[in-house]
Amino acid sequence: MGKVSLENVTKWYGKHIVCDNVSLEIKEGQFFTLLGPSGCGKTTLLRLIAGFIRPDNGAIFLHGVDITNFAPEKRNVGMVFQNYALFPFMTVGENIEYGLKIQKRSRSEIRQKVEQYLSLVGLERFEKRNIADLSGGEQQRVALARSLAIEPGVLLLDEPLSNLDARLRDSMRTELKRLQRNLGITTIFVTHDQVEALTMSDQLAVFKKGVCVQKGTPEEIYDFPANSFVATFVGETNLFPVNFQNGCCMLPNGHILTHITQRSVCFVSIRPQDLRLSLQLPANSDYGIWGTIRDKHFHGYTTEWAIQADGLLFKAVQLNSGQAASSLGVGSQVCVCFSPADLHLLNC
């Protein structure tokens, strides 16, 4: 059994089911992410693990011990909320001391822990500061230090980076993952941001309407999405429905995908970076569809194109070399090329 185990956990709010028979195992020391759009049940699941609410069905285990009915303070978990939930009338040091006092630690131990965790998050000289005088990034660090100071068995993070600006969010991703790795603490992270999920996670679970639709490593979920929802939610993709006529699998424009014979296929997904733009038809092993570049965006290290090709709209992305991004501009005629290996086949 994992460090944290959920067995058939279900939660209703009135007639609305928010967590539907969820079973997960989170191993010791993992950075595990619950990923999904707003309202999919991921924060509810985090609050169930923390003990702030109770499941209607199912059980929650920590190290094999059933904690389903334990009070929050008996669960040995720490939580960082989306709004940080710091006490505005306390100083930075007093915020970090709070949980330690609840645990009835000695004065000397409290002093040592405050200094240790302020140093850990890079706020050594901030102990006497008022919370209102801190930036968003500094408040996030204080909230993290407060949760870590009680030395929980599990750290729960509810979208703690969502209130930060883009540049600070990028740096805090790196810092948070570094801290987690160095401490070896089992961490459950909630986000709707696919970049955070892919870059930070050891494992992640994708949720839709209270159901876990896929679990795996970031690479597994990106490269082998379970369905069309995962394919479009985790990373950019070109998603096309297919149908079978006269024994042939066809795209909506009638283009035949000769290598697909399994009739359970409903969609094909092609990642933008797997498309190749050419001025000539591809080799026999590849597919090619002629089209016109409708839009082009230069992003520095990559260039992104939108190509209208025989009734289909493709998005392609290419790494830029040290030279010009490409001579291909809006209005250029190109062949959109891809091979059978580039296609992800998604069942109904």
Q: Are 179 and 149 spatial neighbours (Cβ–Cβ below 8 Å)?
A: no
Most confident of 68-77, 179-188, 198-207, 328-337: 198-207
Backbone angles phi, psi at 242, to 5 degrees: -125, 155
Q: Is the pLDDT of residue 322 over 60?
A: no
Q: pLDDT digit string (tens) for 43-102?
A: 999 999 999 999 999 999 999 999 999 999 889 898 888 777 888 888 998 899 988 888
Amino acid at 202: D
Q: pLDDT digit string (tens) for 129-140?
A: 998 888 888 888
pLDDT averaged over the chain?
89
Question: For residues 67 and 51, what is the distance between their CA atoms, to the nearest angstrom?
Answer: 8
Question: For residues 139 and 69, what is the distance between their CA atoms, to the nearest angstrom?
Answer: 32
Question: What pLDDT score was predicted for residue 57?
Answer: 96
Question: What pLDDT score was predicted for residue 2?
Answer: 55
Question: For residues 123 and 73, what is the distance between their CA atoms, to the nearest angstrom?
Answer: 27
Question: For residues 8 and 85, what is the distance between their CA atoms, to the nearest angstrom?
Answer: 30
Question: What pLDDT score was predicted for residue 70?
Answer: 95
Instruction: For each of the domains in the chain, give its residue range(s) and CATH number, in order of start.
Output: 4-232 (3.40.50.300), 239-347 (2.40.50.100)
Q: Is the pLDDT of residue 40 over 80?
A: yes
- Structural tokens at position 261: 């014979």
Question: For residues 288 and 339, what is the distance between their CA atoms, to the nearest angstrom?
Answer: 9
**333: enclosing H helix or E strand:** strand 333-338
pLDDT tier for residue 121 given thresholds of 50, 70 and 90: confident
Q: Which of 125, 136, 44 is nearest to 86 (CA)?
A: 136
Question: What pLDDT score was predicted for residue 84?
Answer: 75
Question: For residues 343 and 348, what is the distance between their CA atoms, to the nearest angstrom?
Answer: 16
Contacts for 31 with CB less than 8 Å, ≥ 6 apart: 177, 180, 181, 187, 189, 200, 201, 202, 203
Most confident of 16-25, 237-246, 261-270: 16-25
pLDDT tier for residue 29 given thresholds of 50, 70 and 90: very high
Question: What pLDDT score was predicted for residue 215?
Answer: 97
Looking at per-residue pLDDT, the higher value among 238 and 329 belongs to: 238
Q: Which of 187, 95, 106, 77 is nearest to 133 (CA)?
A: 95
Distance of CA 271 to the CA centre of its chain: 18
Question: What pLDDT score was predicted for residue 258?
Answer: 84
Question: For residues 321 and 178, what is the distance between their CA atoms, to the nearest angstrom?
Answer: 31
Amino acid at 104: K
Could you count the other beta carbons within 10 Å of the beta carbon of residue 87?
11
Q: Which of 199, 131, 150 is nearest to 171 (CA)?
A: 199
Extract the runs of DSSP E, i.e. beta strands, from 71-185.
Answer: 77-80, 154-158
The number of residues in the chain equals 348
Question: What pLDDT score was predicted for residue 200?
Answer: 93
Question: What pLDDT score was predicted for residue 1?
Answer: 43
Could you count the other beta carbons within 10 Å of the beta carbon of residue 91?
17
Q: pLDDT digit string (tens) for 297-316?
A: 988 888 999 999 988 999 99
